[in-house]
Structure 1
Amino acid sequence: MRLKEIELRLAAIKKDVEERGAQLTAEELAKYEKEVKDLQEERTAIIQQQEQRTSLLAAIAAGEVTDANGNPTAPTVLRSIKPADGSGAEQRTAVNKYETMEYRKAFMEYVTRGVTIPKEYRQDAVSQTTDVGAVIPTNVLNQIITKLESVGNILAKVTRTAYKGGVTIPKSTVKPVATWTTQGKGSDKQKQDTSGTVTFAYHKLRCTVAVSLEVDTMAITAFENLLINNIVEAMTKALEQAIISGTGVGQPKGITAETADAGQTVETAKPAYADLIAAEGNLPVAYEKGAEWCMSKKTYMNYYGLTDSNGQPIGRINYGLAGKPEYTLLGRPVNVCDYLPSFANAENNSIVGFLFNFKDYVLNTNYAMGVKKYEDNDTDDMVTKGIMLADGKVVDTGSYVPLKKVQAV
């Protein structure tokens, strides 16, 4: 053991100095002095490492691992690692236990066969905010987050945050204005109006994960890809539905649930070219940039079929480099979706489309996901569900110009 070697060497140096005394030359004393200093520093470093390992083991046992600032870190386990070239002794290092292959295999067994997650990988059930049976492995969760941020047409455009639930944050209601001044004179200071606030709550989003016993013989990577695709598809649809038309009760508050600023709502009994002109006119100049249309595909086709005074269609469907349709109305992008009713099927006084800058919508979630497996007592089926916490709200209604269907007079 290195500590023992250091102590023996220090004792030998001490004995030599005591026995030889004045016979030692200045050069020998300087050499001993440097060696003693180096050995003492090495001994201190080893002792500190031992104390850190002891503290880490105690924290892991208690499930309370924190960083240098006292903030919780990912749960860890110690793993022995041998140098690649075969030289030197094994070193033990802390790794995220949800990244290990052992946990990934245990997670697969839990989802496909209902095998209980080993005790060392389970958290204290009392501390959970959701009824999560198993935490999704870190590498799988990272892929889910990446896909969620890229595949959803609507989801990819909103602002995403990770505020703690229950925290109230201010929202700006006006934009500052620059003014011209003459030489030597200043301008009036403008205070940013943050009188409005928005508070995010905890809303539990659950989706059934369609993974059956047919995947029993799958390789673990194939299983994880299947799980990722299923969760992403379900979560994306649910989140986008809430962003567009969520009620705000037990789910995020959608854009159409907001009240538009005075004078910005367009009422129409029948799709007409004048609707689009009125909407463009109601959109404040300050919010021109980034505002896009959102409506069902059927509603869009109603407007696409309209023509201007010269008989030219007012809508355009272009095909980009990827070969996907790109919809526009009067040059402004249109997001076609299934989250709004078509004009023909919409009830009176309902929103059938709107202009909006999706950056003015904030989706708040920490992407903390887990899964739970249970038996449906009505059907005797084994159901696997994914769970996450999320909330969302419009933080600036300035770009919101709704298209409301009304009865013809």
Structure 2
Amino acid sequence: MHKKKLLDMIAKKEARKKELSEKAKTSQDVAELRSINAEMESLNGDIAELRGMADSIPEEPVPAAPPVASGDEGKRSKEVEDAEARRAGAQKLNPLAAIRIGTGTSATDPDKRGFDDVLKMATDTPEQKAEMRHALFSAPEYRSGYFKMLAGRKDFTDVEKRALTTASDSGGAAVPTTTFNMIIQRMQQTSALFGLLKPTYLPGNVVLPVANAQTAAEWTDEAPATDKDDTLTSVSLTAYALSKFAKVKGQLILMAIDALEAYIVRAIGDQLAIAVENAILNGTGTKQPTGILTGVTWTDGENSATFTDKLDYDNMVDAKKMLGLYRSNAVWVVNAAMEAAIYKIKTTVNQPLFTQNPITGLISNPLGFPLVVDYYMPDDTILLFNPDYYFMNINQNPMIEANDSAGFMTTSRVFRGTLFADAKPTLSEAFVKMTKATAGG
């Protein structure tokens, strides 16, 4: 099969993936979403197989130009021009285009350059060096070389060797940009809470400003010299290491680069998401992020209250009242037992107050806020909070390292994925907690 035909098939399947991603954004039907997910998995497998086939086929040679007759030096053979156009088109087709975080769609990165262009970039200042490394990690030659290195393969092309050497000399190898985006997207899909956050991606330790939402602007003839009522605080975030190991059988290492990447992203990304999920709620702040339940200052009657025997409608109304101006984008977070308690709240005629959609299986938004079920929430506790006031920073691309010794007895290769991040709640008034009163309390 011709390479051009394979690339055309890949392009069509990528277009179908993009169409399904857009459809998934608006769908509220669980059955439809499951169908979309199944088709996406099938498309990913087909694309990986087709890319492996395409990679094994050399480029079509450009036909040599026929001798140019005297006086026709300025003319070129139409066959040569057509062949060069096909070659240029194949180079422009980039099925490895980066997935933009938050969109779930593929889009060509405007900063993506070929490796030769990366080498020409200036590195005189720290900013220029950082830009060069960003372009390097986005280069397809670096990505293919990186995964061959992880798989323990030796069949590097000269360009792949140079890309890996350049990365090592400029500060060390890191996960390719495409892979990083796939890990973040996988975490957003796996974690109930991570997808609600708006993490930053700033290197090193950072101090981020936090604005108080309670202060309104004033109508005035002239702008006031000072904003005496405004309060502007900050949150300091460092970097804690979160690691996950994944064992890959020897025969799987021989799979195509795209298939190996997808396997590692799925194995490592899912487990990173679970650990981050727990930390968002229960993190201690010691060698890990600070969680909401542990990090917010809870004040009875201001952002905390109790309910007696069981949660009722008035309790939920009180929680909404305490959240005040921070209720925009707010969500309820409960575990499965508290979800059941909300389902059981009845009207005066003994009918369910919050009904379940018979198609999607989702409960209607209680008091206008989405309901998120999280298994790391404790029993008899309900949270209502604005995710915009839980700050998270991922300060570098995740690291993925490989080692054969741990899997020597089983002919396996062990991969370790490490994420460096920190997170903590900021304004306590943007979080409301209700818990069941203890006996005698």
Same-fold status (TM-score > 0.5): yes
In structure 2, how many angstroms separate the alpha carbons of the residues matched to 1:379 and 1:342? 43
Q: Decide which structure has greater strand share.
A: 1
For residues 150-192 of structure 1, the C-alpha deviation after alignment (integer angstroms, 9 at most, x for no partner) is 55432121121133433333322353224577xx799896336
Contact 2:281 2:376 survives alignment (8 Å): yes
1:206 aligns with 2:246: no
Instruction: State the shift of 1:256 in Å.
Output: 1.1
Q: 1:221 to 1:402 in 2, by over 3 A?
A: same
3-state SS of the aligned residue for 2:379? coil
1:139 aligns with 2:178: yes
Contact 1:317 1:328 survives alignment (8 Å): no
Q: 1:207 to 1:176 in 2, by over 3 A?
A: same
Contact 1:66 1:72 survives alignment (8 Å): no
Structure with greater Cα Rg: 1
3-state SS of the aligned residue for 2:272? helix
Instruction: State the shift of 1:254 in Å.
Output: 1.2
1:107 aligns with 2:107: no
1:276 aligns with 2:316: yes
Contact 1:161 1:364 survives alignment (8 Å): yes
In structure 1, how many angstroms separate the alpha carbons of the residues matched to 2:286 and 2:280? 13
Cα RMSD over matched residues?
Answer: 3.9
3-state SS of the aligned residue for 1:401? strand
1:310 aligns with 2:378: no
Contact 1:170 1:194 survives alignment (8 Å): no
Q: 1:366 to 1:282 in 2, by over 3 A?
A: same
Instruction: State the shift of 1:139 in Å.
Output: 2.7
In structure 2, how many angstroms separate the alpha carbons of the residues matched to 1:356 and 1:222? 39
Q: 179, 191, 201: which is aligned to 1:162?
A: 201
3-state SS of the aligned residue for 1:169? strand
Q: Which residue of 2 aligns with 1:171?
A: 210
Contact 1:244 1:254 survives alignment (8 Å): yes
**What letter matches 2:290 in structure 1?**
K
In structure 2, how many angstroms separate the alpha carbons of the residues matched to 1:245 and 1:68? 37
**What letter matches 1:121 in structure 2?**
L
Q: Which residue of 2 aligns with 1:73?
A: 131
1:402 aligns with 2:433: yes
Normalised TM-score (structure 1): 0.64
In structure 2, how many angstroms separate the alpha carbons of the residues matched to 1:339 and 1:311? 31
Q: Which residue of 2 aligns with 1:45?
A: none
Normalised TM-score (structure 2): 0.60
Instruction: State the shift of 1:213 in Å.
Output: 2.0
In structure 2, how many angstroms separate the alpha carbons of the residues matched to 1:204 and 1:382? 22
**What letter matches 1:140 in structure 2?**
T
Contact 2:203 2:396 survives alignment (8 Å): no
In structure 1, how many angstroms separate the alpha carbons of the residues matched to 2:151 and 2:361? 36
In structure 2, how many angstroms separate the alpha carbons of the residues matched to 1:379 and 1:126? 36
1:235 aligns with 2:269: no
3-state SS of the aligned residue for 1:191? coil
Q: Which residue of 1 aligns with 2:298?
A: 260
In structure 1, how many angstroms separate the alpha carbons of the residues matched to 2:358 and 2:218? 43
Q: Which residue of 2 aligns with 1:46?
A: none
Q: Decide which structure has greater helix share.
A: 2
Q: 1:228 to 1:372 in 2, by over 3 A?
A: same
3-state SS of the aligned residue for 2:357? strand
Instruction: State the shift of 1:391 in Å.
Output: 0.7
Q: Which residue of 2 aligns with 1:248?
A: 285
In structure 2, how many angstroms separate the alpha carbons of the residues matched to 1:291 and 1:97? 36
Instruction: State the shift of 1:364 in Å.
Output: 0.6
In structure 2, how many angstroms separate the alpha carbons of the residues matched to 1:393 and 1:210? 32
Q: Which residue of 1 aligns with 2:49?
A: none
1:299 aligns with 2:375: no
**Alignment identity in percent?**
22
Q: How many residues align?
A: 315
**What letter matches 2:389 in structure 1?**
D
For residues 95-133 of structure 1, the C-alpha deviation after alignment (integer angstroms, 9 at most, x for no partner) is 7266344x44443344344879968625559966xxxxx
Q: 1:141 to 1:312 in 2, by over 3 A?
A: same
Contact 1:362 1:394 survives alignment (8 Å): yes
**Aligned 1:55-94 pairs, distance under 5 A:** 65=123, 70-75=128-133
In structure 1, how many angstroms separate the alpha carbons of the residues matched to 2:329 and 2:207? 26
In structure 2, how many angstroms separate the alpha carbons of the residues matched to 1:271 and 1:249? 34
In structure 1, how many angstroms separate the alpha carbons of the residues matched to 2:348 and 2:219? 42
For residues 170-223 of structure 1, the C-alpha deviation after alignment (integer angstroms, 9 at most, x for no partner) is 322353224577xx7998963364453211111111122343324134222222
3-state SS of the aligned residue for 1:325? coil
3-state SS of the aligned residue for 2:242? strand
Q: 118, 121, 130: which is aligned to 2:164?
A: 121
Which stretches in structure 1 are left out of the alignment for 5+ residues? 1-55, 77-94, 129-133, 344-351
**What letter matches 1:201 in structure 2?**
T
Contact 2:186 2:270 survives alignment (8 Å): no
**What letter matches 2:182 in structure 1?**
Q
Q: Which residue of 2 aligns with 1:363?
A: 392
